Structure 1
Amino acid sequence: MTNSSIHPGMLIYNIIKYFIYVALAYNVYAFFAEEWAAFQHTHVGGLTSPSELIETFAATIDTAAWVVLLYLFEAETFIMSDERVRRYKYPMILLKGLCYAFIVYACWGYIHKLWYVLNTSVASIPDACAAVSQNLSLMVDLDEYETLTAANCIDLTGQSLLQINGTSIVGTESVFADTIKLAMVDVINAASWVLVVVVLEIDVRLQLAGKLTDQGMKVGYVVKGLLYLALFVCAVYWGFYGDFLDFWDAFLWLLAFFMIELNIFNWHEHVKEEEEEANLA
C-alpha cells in the first residue's frame, strides 16, 4: 500500500473521501434510532436472548461493523506503509475477524427479519376500530409501526388484515407485500456485500504477498462488478420504494468502496512501477 504525499487535486479527493467515511459513521446512530423505535413495538416484553439483540438491531450492528472494517481497509490500502501493515498483521486480522463475524451474523439477522414478516396469518379482527383496546401495533413499513388508534383504524375499514404470528402486529395485505419485498432486498444487499468484502480481502492479502497479478485484478473486477451492480439495483429500489436513510446509506457505501477500489488499484500500480524500476537498475 502507498502513503502518497499530497499533490494537486489529492487534497480535495481526500476531503470528499473522509467526509463520506464520517457520514457513514453517523449512519450508525441513525439506524439505531430507527431500530430502537421499531423495538418498542416488536419486543414489548423485552429481549429474551443475545441472539435476539443482534437480530433486532441488525442494521445498527451491521453498519457499525462495516464502518470499522472500512477504516481498516483504508489503513491497509492507503494510510499505513506495507511494512507497518505486515508488522500489525495479526491484530488487524483479529479486528477484521470480529467485524466479519458481526457482518455475517447481521446478514443472518436480515434473513430472520424476512422470515419474521413472512410468518403471518389472517388476523381474526372483523373490525379494526373495535380492536383499538387490544393494544395492537400497526405495520406501516419495514421497521416502522404505529399504535392502532381510533384515528388510524378508520383507514383500515373494509381491508383484510394480516397478523405476524405470535405478536400483536397487524397490517394490510398491501403493506405486508411491500414490506416483504424490502426485506428481500435487505437480504440480497447484505449477502452481496459479504461477497464483495471476501474478494477485497483476497485482493489485499495477495497484494501484500506480492502475488496480485493484472489478470487477477481483472477477474476480481468482473466478480465485484456484478456484485456492485446488484448493490446499485438495491439502492435504486430503496430510492423508489424504501426510505431515504436506506438509499442514502447504500449510496454512501458504494462511494466509499469505490475509494477503496481506487486505493487498491493505485497500490498495485505503485508496487508494479517500483518493481519495474528495480529491474531496470
Structure 2
Amino acid sequence: MQIKKGIVFTSFKYTMYALLFINTISFYAINSASEQITNHEGLALGEIIVAYADAIDSASWLLLLLLFEFETSFDPPEKHEFWIQPLIGAATIACWVVIVYSFYGYVGGLDMLGDFAAYAGPDPCSLNDAGALFVASLDDYIPLDPSHCAAMASGALYSAELNMYATPDSFALLKRLIWIDVINAGAWIIVAGIIEFEIFLRVTRGVSPEFLRIANIVKFPFWMILVGATILWWIYGTFLDAWDAFLWIAAFFFIELNMIAKHEERAKKRSARNSPEV
C-alpha cells in the first residue's frame, strides 16, 4: 500500500486537528455552563475532573494526538534525539495520566444516576423552588417551568442532592448518554494504547508484520464501538458529540496512515542499505 502525502492530504489532516481544537473550546464552554447551574457552592479539587470531564479529556487527547502526529510524521535530527525523545515521553505519560483520570470522571457521572428516585410529592411547580432544574439531556439542565411539570404529570424522578427533576424518558436518555460516554472513552483508551505500543515498537525497530496484523484485528471491534457511539449520538440529537467523535475517528485514521507511510519509508531505506552495490 503506497501512501502519498500531498498538499491535499496534509491540508485536510490539519483542518481536522484545528476543528478538534475548536470542539475542545466548545466542550469547555458547555461544561462551564453546566457546572455553574448545578454547583452553586463551587467545586472541590476532586470534583473538577467530573464537572469538566469532556473538556479535560478532549484537551488531553488533542495533545496526545499531536504527539502521535509528530512521532509518526517526523524524524528529529539525531543530534537532538537525546532531549526530544525524553520530552515526548514525559508529555505522553502526562497525557495518559490525565486521560485515564478523565475516564474516572466519566465513570463518576454514573453516580449521578443513583441520586434519582421516583417522585411522589406535590406538583413541583407549586413549591416555588426557584433553584429547581429539569433534565433535558446530558449537560443540558434548565430551570424548571410549567411545561416540564405538565410533562411529569404521568411520572417523574427527582434528585434531592441536585434539586433536579426528570421525566422517565429524559432520565432514560440521560442514562444512555452517560453510558455511551463511558464505553466510548474506554474504547478510545484501548485503541490509542495499541497505537502507542505500535509507535514504541516502530521507534525501537521491534515491530513485525505479524504483530501489525494482530494489532489491527484487536483494534477493529473497538473501532466499530467508536463508530457505533458516533451514530448513537447523532440519533439521540447530541450533534456536537457526534461531530466531535467523527473528527476524532478521522484524525486517528490519519495517524494510522502516517504509521503505514513511515513503515514503508523505513522498509525502503533498509532495502537500499541491504541491496548490493553495482
TM-score norm. by structure 1 comes to: 0.92
Q: Which of 31, 36, 42 in structure 1 is aligned with 2:32?
A: 36
Structure 2 CA distance for aligned equivalents of residues 206 and 145 of structure 1:
46
Structure 1 CA distance for aligned equivalents of residues 116 and 202 of structure 2:
49
1:280 CA drift (Å): 1.1
1:169 CA drift (Å): 1.1
Structure 2 CA distance for aligned equivalents of residues 280 and 60 of structure 1:
51
1:128 CA drift (Å): 2.6
Equivalent in the alignment of 2:159 = 164
The alignment partner of 1:96 has SS state of: helix
Structure 1 CA distance for aligned equivalents of residues 150 and 13 of structure 2:
46
Gaps of 5+ in 1: none
Structure 2 CA distance for aligned equivalents of residues 110 and 159 of structure 1:
31
1:81 CA drift (Å): 3.5
Which digits, 9 at most, give the CA deviation of each residue in 1:105-135, with x for residues without a partner? 1111111112212331123432132134352
Structure 2 CA distance for aligned equivalents of residues 215 and 85 of structure 1:
29
Summarize the alignment of residues 109-120 of structure 1 with structure 2, pairs less than 5 Å apart. Answer: 109-120=105-116
Q: Which of 90, 94, 112 in structure 2 is aligned with 1:94?
A: 90
Inter-CA distance 241–86: structure 2 relative to 1 (3 Å threshold): farther
Q: Which of 257, 268, 275 in structure 2 is aligned with 1:280?
A: 275
1:156 CA drift (Å): 2.6
1:87 CA drift (Å): 4.5
Equivalent in the alignment of 2:42 = 46
| Greater mean deviation of Cα atoms: 75-84 or 263-272 | 75-84
1:231 CA drift (Å): 0.3
Are positions 1:10 and 2:6 aligned together?
A: yes
8 Å Cα contact 1:110-1:183 kept in structure 2: yes
The aligned amino acid for 1:28 is T
The alignment partner of 1:212 has SS state of: coil
1:209 CA drift (Å): 0.7
Equivalent in the alignment of 2:197 = 202
Summarize the alignment of residues 1-281 of structure 1 with structure 2, pairs less than 5 Å apart. Answer: 10-47=6-43, 49-81=44-76, 83=78, 87-150=83-146, 152-281=147-276
Superposition RMSD on alpha carbons, in Å?
A: 1.8
TM-score norm. by structure 2 comes to: 0.93
The alignment partner of 1:170 has SS state of: strand
8 Å Cα contact 1:122-1:161 kept in structure 2: yes
8 Å Cα contact 2:110-2:178 kept in structure 1: yes
8 Å Cα contact 1:125-1:161 kept in structure 2: no
8 Å Cα contact 2:152-2:166 kept in structure 1: no
The aligned amino acid for 1:192 is A
| Greater mean deviation of Cα atoms: 267-276 or 185-194 | 267-276
Q: What is the percentage of aligned positions where both structures have the same residue? A: 29
Inter-CA distance 34–135: structure 2 relative to 1 (3 Å threshold): same
Inter-CA distance 157–115: structure 2 relative to 1 (3 Å threshold): closer
